[in-house]
Amino acid sequence: MPALLLPGEPAPVRLMNTTWADRSGLHDDLESAADLRTWIDAVGTTAETGDADLARFRSLRDALRRLAAFATEDTRTAAASPMREVTEAVAEVNRAAALAPAWPVLALGSAPESGPDAAPDSTLDPAPDPAFEGGALVRRYSSEADPVSQCLAALAVQGIELLTGPGREDLRACYGPGCVLYFAKDHPRREWCSAGCGNRARAARYYARHRTAPEG
C-alpha cells in the first residue's frame, strides 16, 4: 500500500491510516525507518529518520487511533489500537505536541496551502529575493527543534485540533467490510473511506439479502 493512502485526509488521519487491512490481514506502512522517511516525505517533510524516530511516530499513531476509536465509538475489533488506555493515549499525544515549541513569524511569499492536503508546516521559507513582486505577507512557524520532531509535534497538535475542534463530529470509522481506516466526512452523503469500501459494503448487503431471501 503506498504512503499516499487516502491523501486527501487530514495529516493525523493519514498517520492513523498507516495501519490498514486487506484479505490477507493487517499491514503496517511504518515497519522501518525507511518507511517512515517515505511517509513523512509524502506529507511534506524531508529529513533523515532512525529507529528512535520510528518508535515515536508509531506511538503517536497508536495514541491517535485509540483516541479516534474513543471519539467515534468504534466497535471494529480488528481496528483496535495496541494502546488500550485512553489516559495513556492522551499523555502520549500531549508528550509529542510538546516536542517542538513553535512560534508564528511573518514571511514574504506565496499564500500557504490550505485544506486537507496541506502539510504540517513548522519551518520558514528561504528569504525572498529583494526584487520579489506579487508576494504576500504569510504566517509561518519557526522552531529550534529538529525537522523530524517538528513534524511529529505538528501531527500531534493537528490531532488535538481534529479531536476537539469544530471538525470533531466529522471524524468517522469506516465500516466497509474488513476496513480499519478512519476518515473525515467531507460530504453529507459520504459513508465510507473510499469508493472501494462503499462498493464492497453494497455488494455484501446485496449478497446477504439474496442469501436469506426465501425460495419460490
Fold of 11-100+146-212: Jann2411-like fold (1.10.3300)
For the beta carbon of residue 112, count every other beta carbon within 10 angstroms.
Answer: 14
Comparing 49-53, 120-124, 205-209, the range with the smallest average pLDDT is 120-124
Residue 118 is predicted with a pLDDT of 42
Residue 209 is predicted with a pLDDT of 64
Select from 22, 25, 29, 26 the least CA-distant residue to 7. 29
Residue 74 is predicted with a pLDDT of 97
- Residue boundaries of the structural domains of the chain: 11-100+146-212
| CA trace torsion 166, 167, 168, 172 (10° rounding) | 160
Selected residue with higher pLDDT from 134 and 83 = 83
Cell numbers 481506516 correspond to: 181
pLDDT digits (tens, 9 = 90+) for 88-100: 999 999 999 999 9
Residue 63 is predicted with a pLDDT of 99
Residue 32 is predicted with a pLDDT of 97
Separation of alpha carbons 200 and 214, rounded Å: 24
For the beta carbon of residue 33, count every other beta carbon within 10 angstroms.
Answer: 17
The answer on pLDDT for 69 being more than 60 is yes
The answer on pLDDT for 101 being more than 50 is yes
The answer on pLDDT for 87 being more than 80 is yes
Give whole-number Cα distances, 41 to 52, 104, 147, 153, 210, in Å. 17, 23, 11, 16, 46
